[in-house]
Amino acid sequence: MDFVELSSLTFLLSVPALAVIGLCIGSFLNVVVHRLPLMLERQWLGDVQAMLQDSAGLQRTLGAGIDAAAVQHLHDGGERLGSALASLPALSLSRPRSRCPACGTQLGWHHNLPILSWLALRGRCAACRAPISRRYPLVEAGTALAFGLIGWVFGPTATSVVYCVAAALLIAMALIDLDTTLLPDSLTYALLGLGLFSAWMGWTPLRLEDAALGVLFGYGSLWALTTLYALLRGVRGMAEGDFKLLAALGALLGVAQLLPIVLLASLVGAAVGIFLVLARGHQREVPIPFGPYLAGGGLAAMFFGPQLLRWWLPV
């Protein structure tokens, strides 16, 4: 690598450059958070539609006790569902172009500038003046801050690149779980693969064995706790997406960071839960997603891992 290439790479991984990149990534994360759950729900409805139209499969699954008229009714329902899905416009992370959710007006490029457009429009749609959520600029600013801090702490290194990608995935997962109580496999598996591959390549200060153990104990510990809780109380206190997220954090940060992450997430989650119940009237039987707190614990461990470990396990 010659001097020009090295200088360009150093500049791209500088704190200001990473902050600007974080602004742009944050804008894209807003799209991911909104559209990915909708894409998954359409996919699941398509799976249901295929099952309903499989008359032989329905007969086999429901047993000999169901009559032909009931099977035909389910089959017809599958046809109607398929027609409804086919009538929907194409949806992906890139199509259609961004539109105002209130009036449907397509947004121009100058309305999609991170933070600046929201400020220039004073938080309202240019066409219908409907309010635009403050969360959009906050996500952009938060991602920029995370990227800038990563560059400041870890310098122009491969570790900074890995942690920036990880931070973007964690922010997206936290917001999706907060909105929908879903943790998409596409994001948790991406983080898990990133952690293992980065440890294998030596891009993070973590041995591959530690990353692999992080996956094993991350998933296994929450699975064991949830299974025990279900046996004692008759309900599952946590979803499988949380197991996968902690496994992914174990792959990224190592087995030693699992306990600080879980303890910090539990402490903050319990405090927020108590506040919601006492101050906001949140119903106790309505689940509170744990993914945002795990993601927050993972980000904290990324920056303060050794300090958190000494805090929880003083020696």
DSSP collapsed to 3 states, 156-212: CCHHHHHHHHHHHHHHHHHHHHHHHCCCCHHHHHHHHHHHHHHHHHCCCCCCHHHHH
Residue 235 is predicted with a pLDDT of 75
Residue 144 has pLDDT above 60, yes or no: yes
pLDDT tens, 253-287? 999 999 999 999 988 888 887 877 777 666 666 67
pLDDT band for position 4 (cuts 50, 70, 90)? very low
Q: Cβ(303)–Cβ(309) under 8 Å?
A: no
Domain boundaries, the chain: 157-312
Strand partners, 124: 131
Is the previous residue joined to 289 through a cis bond, with omega within 30 degrees of 0?
no
Which range is least confidently modeled, 126-130, 135-139, 190-194, 243-247? 126-130
pLDDT tens, 33-56? 999 999 999 999 999 998 888 878
Question: In 3D, which of 243, 268, 259, 248 has the Cα closest to residue 305?
Answer: 259
What are 146's two structure tokens? 């995370």
**Regarding predicted confidence, which is higher, 315 or 203?**
203
Predicted TM-score (pTM) of the model is: 0.91
pLDDT tens, 282-314? 666 667 899 999 999 999 999 988 787 777 666
pLDDT tens, 204-251? 999 999 999 999 999 999 999 889 888 888 777 788 999 999 999 999
Residue 70 is predicted with a pLDDT of 80
Residue 239 is predicted with a pLDDT of 85
Residue 2 is predicted with a pLDDT of 46
Question: In 3D, which of 20, 14, 22, 17 has the Cα closest to residue 165?
Answer: 22
Q: How far, in Å, CA of 29 to CA of 141, rounded? A: 12
pLDDT tens, 68-123? 788 888 888 889 998 999 999 889 998 888 877 777 777 777 778 888 888 888 88
